[in-house]
Structure 1
Amino acid sequence: MDPLADLLQGVRAHSAAFCHAILQPPWALRIADGARLALASALRGHAWIVPDHGEPVLLDTGDIAIVKGPDHYTVGDDPATAPDVIVRPGNRLTTLDGTDVTEALRLAPRTSGHSPDGSTTVASGTYQVDGEVSDRLLNVLPDIVVVRRSDGPAPVMDLLAQEVGGEGPGQQIVLDRLLDLALIATLRAWFARPEAHAPGWYLAQGDPLIGPALRLIHDAPAHPWTVASMAGKVGASRATFARRFADLVGEPPLTYLTGWRIALAADLLRRSDLTIDSVARQVGYANAFALSVAFKRVRGVSPSQHRTGVTVNGGLTIHHRQPTVDA
């Protein structure tokens, strides 16, 4: 696989929390589902995305936004409109005082609103992303990415609009896959823009020397790679390969390899019951000791400390950040 494909493996929609909202101004929704990643598009009309910290962003018809969480934010017809509905995990809708209005606002399966005649339609899907591998993708994205209809995956969003109200066989799988396609196409469209400042590993995928080398690393991270062996595989001298890799990716080949191995190990430690020795061998280290040395050098904690879900810094135990809580 290429780096983007690997990073997206943990950001796939599986029974995605997909929502189709039909709205009439004035309207505003407080998004408090804690999702790490959300994709939204104004299929009809427009919508403003209003973060708690930062400038509001306008979505015109057909535009697509990718929003990083888990912090909460507001979506409305105008940045000044106060929300009267809170969107909670699982697309559960409540009033500001906590009264559940999910069924009261349901117009059809996966469709909510006060009336089917509203002038604005917003489609969205949320991803409960976790894992160090996926974080390598999220960490290079701004809090809000917007791709205009003229630059984005319009055909995919048109298909989403057609499918969202249906109840045919395999409907959820269809929506999941369309949501995945929309996310991938939107990311590719975003990274193609100069202002996106795409990471080196993304830009380097198109290079005739470094692109194949990145795929070698991602296809076989446990292989005993050296700079010389990678250079030989792509038909370059060791010095030329090392220099070009560092120039394009932004770090030396073995540093990139180590970072990828440690990210894979971090996810295996959290998601499996494998021993540290087994994890080490799966990602290219001879034994648990070798992995522990590398893991602590890169992350500042041991594999066993990482597995417990805390970070130790100067003797203090710091729990991972939790999303803010709305009433």
Structure 2
Amino acid sequence: MTTYRRRISEREFGAMEIGEYPAGDALSAALTGLTFGGWVVCLSDLSAPWGVSLPGGRLGAAHIVLSGRCFVTMAGSGARVELSEDELVFLPADRVHKVSDAPDTDAIEASQIAGLQVADSFALSLALGGGGERTRILTISFSTGSDLHTQIFAGLPELIKLSLNSVSNQAQLRATLQAIEVEMATAHPGYLAILRRLAEIFFVQLMRAVSLSDVSDRGWLFALSDPRLQKALGLMHNQFARPWRLADLARACGMSRTSFCDRFAEKVGVPPMTYLNRVRMSEATQRLKAPGARIADVAEQVGYASAASFSRAYRDIVGSSPSEVSRSPGVEPLFPATASS
């Protein structure tokens, strides 16, 4: 038996290339390619009355109640959840929202809080409120240079409430949160580098918890609960440069072309080949941003025989040319997230 990233059988290993994940582990394959461009960790000690309006705009955000209780209310839709100790809420699109001790408490804009930085990456301990009932909240948010999150989060509600007492990986989540608290409290040399990595670990653990929950019955994360679709997604992310045909993917999943195509589109939200092409272009976008990247090399790396065919496909799917992206200072989302139902 051979060990590589996880314990796998000889049969599995024989079909893998070095650097690949097993085809069934689509979550690892997708999230490994999701680069974090920024992160925020904020540990807040709050006393009633208190309320903070947060601007959103990141890949996602999570508020974890360590003690006490709070309400999280979305601007616009008015969707709201109440959280108690050992509960968290995940905001897949991190839109504008309010966190407060009560639904009707006025909120101060986050930009008005002294000491709160406006930066891509930072850690902050915050004390706020009027001296009443106390609440302690850990907030973790992320930004990214990839657009794949729009597919990963497709179909999710704008607020996802989970209890640390009921998720299947609660021990791992609690250990990570405890480590974050310790690093925030001690602030020893190197703690910011450690916090960045802990924030990324928390994100992956949170995605695992969400994928195993029952908050939705459609979308990329919930397609992972279907072993056949999980295998197809793993192959697309892990071997995106291969010249896949629809029949190849259907055969790998033990399904007919029609059944596979219909089930994939129903669960993931787009046809299989559309999704595969988006994976390729997302990979290409990140590679084009690398210093000294050559379009011909990137084309080959994502499965195209020529730079010309790659450029045509890239423009059709992304809406701009590879050369425009390689010259731009940042990476904009390629496939804007649609409103959740």
Residue equivalent to 1:132 = 147
- In the TM superposition, what whole-angstrom CA distance separates every residue of 1:296-319 from its partner, at most 9, and x where no partner exists? 333344334555669xxxxxxxx9
Distance of 1:13 and 1:297 partners within structure 2:
26
CA distance change for structure 1 residues 305 and 15 in 2, over 3 Å: closer, same or farther?
closer
Corresponding position: 1:49 with 2:72:
yes
2:154–2:219 contact (8 Å) kept in structure 1: no
Residue number in structure 2 paired with 1:160: 177
- Counterpart selection for 1:223 from 242, 253, 263: 242
Give 1:8's aligned residue: 31
Give the Cα separation in 2 of the matches to 1:201 and 1:101.
36
The alpha-carbon deviation at position 45 of structure 1 amounts to: 0.6
Note the 1:306-321 alignment, pairs <5 A: 306-307=325-326
Structure 1 residues 32 and 259: CA distance shift in structure 2, 3 A? closer
SS at match of 2:283: helix
Q: Distance in 2 between matches of 1:287 and 1:181?
A: 37
Q: Which residue of 2 aligns with 1:284?
A: 303
Give the counterpart letter for 1:219 in structure 2: N
Contact 2:39 2:141 in 1 (8 A): yes
SS at match of 2:148: helix
Structure 1 residues 159 and 118 mapped into 2: Cα distance closer, same or farther (>3 Å)? Answer: farther
CA contact (8 A) 2:52 2:107 kept: yes
Q: 1:128 to 1:200 in 2, by over 3 A?
A: closer
Distance 1:39 1:143 in 2: 12
For residue 189 of structure 1, what is the aligned residue in structure 2? 209
Map of 2:13 onto structure 1:
none
Uncovered stretches (5+) of structure 2, i.e. residues with no partner = 1-20, 118-122, 337-341
Instruction: Name the amino acid aligned to 2:187.
Output: E
Q: Select 2:261's aligned residue among 233, 246, 257.
A: 246
Contact 2:71 2:100 in 1 (8 A): yes
Q: What CA distance in whole angstroms lies between the structure 2 residues aligned with 1:299 and 1:49?
A: 35
Equivalent residue number for residue 58 of structure 2: 35
CA contact (8 A) 2:72 2:99 kept: yes
2:149 corresponds to 1:123 = no
Determine the C-alpha separation between the residues in 2 that align with 1:158 and 1:193.
Answer: 20
Equivalent residue number for residue 156 of structure 2: 141
Structure-2 separation of matches of 1:191 and 1:26: 35
Q: Would the alpha carbon gap of residues 124 and 201 (structure 1) be closer, same or farther in structure 2, given more than 3 Å must change?
A: closer
CA spacing shift, 1:204–1:57, aligned 2, 3 Å: closer
TM-score norm. by structure 1 comes to: 0.73
Aligned partner letter, 1:212? K
Tell me which of 195, 209, 214 is aligned to 2:233: 214
Unaligned runs of 5+ in 1: 89-93, 104-108, 311-318, 322-327
Contact 1:269 1:306 in 2 (8 A): yes
What RMSD over aligned residues (CA atoms) do the two structures have, in Å? 3.6
- What is the count of residue pairs matched by the alignment? 293
Partners of 1:265 and 1:121 lie apart in 2 by 42
Question: Residue 82 of structure 2 corresponds to which residue in structure 1?
Answer: 58
1:203 alignment partner in structure 2: 223
> What do residues 55-90 of structure 1 show as CA deviations (whole Å, max 9, x unaligned)?
222222111112245643221111211123x435xx
2:199 maps to which of 162, 179, 185: 179
CA contact under 8 A between 1:61 and 1:149: conserved in structure 2?
A: no
**Conserved 8 A contact 1:12-1:127:** no
Flag the 1:26–1:11 CA change in 2: closer, same or farther, 3 A. Answer: farther
Q: Deviations over 1:131-184 (max 9, x none)?
A: 222332234433222212333354323652452423356534543444334333
Partner of 2:6 in structure 1?
Answer: none
> 1:51 offset after TM fit, Å?
2.0
- 2:59–2:93 Cα contact (<8 Å) kept: yes
Matched letter for residue 125 of structure 1: I
For normalisation by structure 2, the TM-score amounts to 0.71
State whether structure 2 residue 98 is matched by structure 1 residue 74: yes
User: What percent of counterpart residues are identical?
Assistant: 22
- The aligned residue for residue 293 of structure 1 is 312
